[in-house]
């Protein structure tokens, strides 16, 4: 009876450890995924501001060129074009930094290894996913093959069958 109690205690301990490892791994995955999404969202916001300032730069510079071609020596439009182009360059740099941070968080997310107690579970899940992908690929091949007209030498086009002479 004493050995049986040790067995159940060990089993309960392993189950609790497994549950704890699963919770910690899930929280880590959520953290890195949310960090990646956070930096990607910031990069999109900066990108929209960048596009606005690039458009303003284009407008100001084209108006400055029009005024210079009309014969005016100085152009007040350049006073708006230069700051907008400078702001555009700064926004490109910020956008690049946000994308780098998003990529780094995404790489951490992808490289996050599960604890040792979760590896058999991850292996079985990966095996199921691979089996589903293989089944989908064979079904796709089969659909592609069945969609073609049968060739002249195909068994389905033998003379003597219905509709064939």
pTM, rounded to two decimals: 0.54
Residue 119: both structure tokens together:
């590896």
pLDDT, tens digit, for every residue of 2-45? 567 788 888 888 888 888 888 888 887 788 888 888 888 888 99
**DSSP of 25-80:** HHHHHHHHHHHHHHHHHHHHHHHHHHHHHHHHHHHHHHHHHHHHHTT-S--TTHHH
């Amino acid at each position: 009876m004493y050995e049986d109690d040790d067995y159940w205690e060990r089993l309960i301990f392993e189950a609790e450890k497994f549950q704890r490892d699963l919770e910690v791994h899930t929280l880590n995955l959520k953290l890195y995924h949310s960090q990646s999404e956070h930096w990607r969202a910031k990069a999109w916001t900066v990108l929209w501001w960048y596009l606005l300032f690039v458009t303003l730069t284009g407008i100001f510079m084209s108006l400055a060129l029009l005024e210079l071609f009309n014969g005016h020596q100085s152009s007040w439009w350049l006073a708006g074009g230069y700051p907008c182009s400078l702001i555009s360059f700064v926004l490109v740099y910020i956008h690049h930094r946000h994308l780098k941070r998003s990529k780094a968080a995404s790489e951490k997310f992808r490289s996050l290894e599960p604890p040792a107690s979760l590896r058999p579970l991850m292996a079985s899940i990966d095996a199921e996913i691979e089996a589903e992908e293989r089944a989908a690929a064979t079904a796709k091949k089969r659909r592609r093959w069945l969609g073609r007209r049968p060739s002249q030498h195909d068994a389905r086009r033998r003379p003597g069958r219905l509709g064939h002479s």
